[in-house]
Amino acid sequence: MRARTYDAIIAGASFAGLAVARELHGRVLLLDRYPVGEHQTSACGTPLWIAEQLGVKESVLQVHRRAVVHTPTRTVIYDALELPYCTFDYRRFCHGLLVQSDAEFRRTTVRSLRDGVVETDAGRFEAPVIVDASGWHRALVGGPALATRRVRLSFGLETEAGYTGDDLYFWVDPTILEEGAAWLFPIGGRSRVGVGSYAGASKLRGPLERFLGGLDLVPGSFHGTYFPAGLAAPTVGRVFAVGDAGGHCLPLTGEGIRPAVYFGRMLGGIAQGVIDGRLSLESALATYRRRVLAHRSAYRLLRAIQWVVQKAPGAWLGSLAELSLRPWLFRRWWPAYLRFGRAGMLDERMGAAVFTIRSQPTGQ
């Protein structure tokens, strides 16, 4: 059977795939094995400016101006007054992006890339621009990261429960989960509650149920998946990798939506040059590689901090949190973290008064 031809093919129609598709004009084919917005794997917490800049603010469920991080001995409270985070409805967020794109969506499983042709259950397709945005499955750039071990993987499991509140909560406490963290993100009338293992342990239902029991909360249904904790190759052969497929999720915090959108938009801009005939495929691959790898040191630093937090005994975690708040250190890492992905999305306004921070003994 002859392959059908497009200008661009994108495998995966979640955050990264939709962010790329939104930037492209031409004959663009967007492929996913689930209908768009129907297979949520995330707590869907991201900076509010992401939803605003993408024009999907109607998907926002709740705005959060404070994050509270519990360690066994110290609790740290971050007030992000001018740069709040939000939690959003995955379906509405994805559909809001899809309607902004010209892409033709097909529900099908992507199997492989053979001789430049994308093989799927719905047929064979070819295009000058081929993008792998299939998350940790990495359908086109080398197969599941788990099998190839080319990308370090964390695992998260999550449910919804009937808690209402204002703040985003995190727990870094080995008594809840060895080498991991727990979170509770309010979403209006309910909350998304989860645990994530830095070590990639996937049997998390027991620890999550115990954690919920400790908070007097009853779980709903569960969802979970792997997410990367380290950059992978931005391109493999002639394929661009973006989002979790490219290892773009930020280590330590597991924040993957903002980088998926950031690198997705960046890739869309570069790939449009190929579609318009302004750029050869080789130049586009090299440009994307260079621009992604410019962030390599940020990923290495976050990965190193993740390793320290992962391996530190529980008794040290409070002291480490305190250390991170020393003004000389805090002034460097926190604004840099918040700024990640803002280039080209927002003005670079980042005043010193954007946040306040304090800590207190845990349990007070």
Residues that bind ligand FAD (CB under 6 A): 11-17, 31-34, 39, 41-46, 109-110, 133-135, 137, 139, 156, 158, 194, 224-225, 227, 243-245, 249, 254-258, 260
Cα–Cα distance for residue pair 283/231, rounded to 1 Å: 21
Cα–Cα distance for residue pair 320/309, rounded to 1 Å: 8
Rank residues 39 and 291 by Cβ distance to ligand FAD and give the closer one: 39
Cα–Cα distance for residue pair 152/134, rounded to 1 Å: 16
List the strands of the sheet with 104-107, edge to edge: 104-107, 28-32, 8-11, 129-132, 239-241, 235-236
Q: How far is the CB of 73 from ligand FAD (least distance, A)?
A: 26
Cα–Cα distance for residue pair 28/24, rounded to 1 Å: 7
Contact between residue 186 and residue 62 where contact means Cβ atoms under 8 Å apart: yes
Rank residues 184 and 318 by Cβ distance to ligand FAD and give the closer one: 184
The residue sitting closest to ligand FAD, measured at its beta carbon, is 256
Cα–Cα distance for residue pair 132/253, rounded to 1 Å: 23
Rank residues 45 and 318 by Cβ distance to ligand FAD and give the closer one: 45
Cα–Cα distance for residue pair 15/133, rounded to 1 Å: 8
Amino acid type, 112: S
- In degrees rounded to 5, what are phi and psi of residue 189? -75, -10
Q: How far is the CB of 38 from ligand FAD (least distance, A)?
A: 9
Rank residues 34 and 333 by Cβ distance to ligand FAD and give the closer one: 34
Q: How far is the CB of 261 from ligand FAD (least distance, A)?
A: 9
Q: How far is the CB of 9 from ligand FAD (least distance, A)?
A: 11
Rank residues 74 and 306 by Cβ distance to ligand FAD and give the closer one: 306
Rank residues 234 and 254 by Cβ distance to ligand FAD and give the closer one: 254
Q: How far is the CB of 87 from ligand FAD (least distance, A)?
A: 7
Q: How far is the CB of 52 from ligand FAD (least distance, A)?
A: 16
The region, left, alpha or beta by phi > 0 then psi within -120 to 50, assigned to residue 179 is left
Q: How far is the CB of 253 from ligand FAD (least distance, A)?
A: 8
Rank residues 70 and 258 by Cβ distance to ligand FAD and give the closer one: 258
User: In whole angstroms, how large is the CA radius of gyration of the chain?
Assistant: 20
